[in-house]
Amino acid sequence: MQLFNRLKWLVAVLVLLPATSCIDLVEHIKIYPDKSGDYSLSLDMGALSKTGVGNSSLPEGLLNFPQFVEEGLKDVTGITDIKAVSDKSSGFYSVSFHFKNHKVFKRALMKLAGLKYGFIIPNYMKVGKHRFRKKDIGPMVTKAIEKSDNKMLDQEFMGVEVSSLINVKTIVETPKPVRKVKKNDRAIITSDPEIVEIKGTLSEIIKGMNTGVVVKY
């Protein structure tokens, strides 16, 4: 009951925040000419910190994910430059690392998830000489939320879907100017011809928004 009350308070604060001051989840993938790359995942809850909402209101697993990833990847051959950031005062959490190639990235995800080869997550991305592909994991995210004991993300509060308050963005940075983007109508080439972005909310992903993309460069 105490945890539920904390979550209700958290949701109430989110709903009352300006529309531009939501939680931001950003995935950034940078590909190099040799097919290696940098991967980062960041969670910015700065808007919550400004309201004075304490970290005790948030799930511990959420706050500790950078360290979990850092610990899990430290012995994976081909994964280097692992950096984990947990800044509770600013509400910013992130983890980043360099991967030698997409096969190494696959092994890294397999170790983190403790899954057998061939599951959907290990095939998350593929890097070719002139082509990058990222798999759509929207259905998997939706299924995980449906199976979760915590139904907060399925709720509405004051007429607002909780999941709509979580912005999700994927940034793909290529070694050459992008020639074509396929498999996702929401993927756009930015003013920088080597960067593609996909923007949405968790609510849109739950309702079927595609998170995958094919980028040719």
Using only C-alpha atoms, the chain has a radius of gyration, in whole angstroms, of 18
Residue that has been written with the tokens 């259905």 in this structure: 139
pLDDT tens per residue across span 55-98 = 544 556 667 788 888 988 989 999 999 999 988 888 899 999 99
- pLDDT given for residue 2 in this prediction: 38
The closest alpha carbon to 28, from 13, 43, 14, 15, belongs to: 43
Of residues 120 and 211, the one with the higher pLDDT is: 211
- pLDDT given for residue 80 in this prediction: 97
Of residues 115 and 68, the one with the higher pLDDT is: 68
Residue 6 phi/psi, 5-degree rounding, is: -65, -45
The closest alpha carbon to 113, from 77, 149, 144, belongs to: 144
pLDDT tens per residue across span 184-195 = 999 999 999 999
For residues 108 and 191, the answer to whether their CB atoms sit within 8 Å is no
The closest alpha carbon to 85, from 47, 45, 119, belongs to: 45
The closest alpha carbon to 43, from 146, 201, 177, 168, belongs to: 168
Helix (H, G, I), strand (E, B) or coil at 44: strand
Q: Could you tell me the pLDDT band of residue 155, with boundaries at 50, 70 and 90?
A: low
Least confident of 8-22, 132-146, 156-170: 8-22
For residues 217 and 175, the answer to whether their CB atoms sit within 8 Å is yes
**How many angstroms separate the CA atoms of 104 and 76, rounded?**
8
**How many angstroms separate the CA atoms of 38 and 108, rounded?**
13
Q: CA angle, 94 as apex, 15 and 185 as ends, to 5°?
A: 65
First and final C-alpha spacing in the chain: 52
DSSP secondary structure letter of residue 63: H
Q: Could you tell me the pLDDT band of residue 16, with boundaries at 50, 70 and 90?
A: very low
As a whole number, the mean pLDDT across the chain is: 81
For residues 182 and 189, the answer to whether their CB atoms sit within 8 Å is no
pTM for the model stands at 0.82
Of residues 24 and 120, the one with the higher pLDDT is: 24
The residue-averaged pLDDT of 124-142 equals 92
Number of H-type helices and E-type strands within the chain:
7, 13
Domain regions of the chain by residue span: 2-216
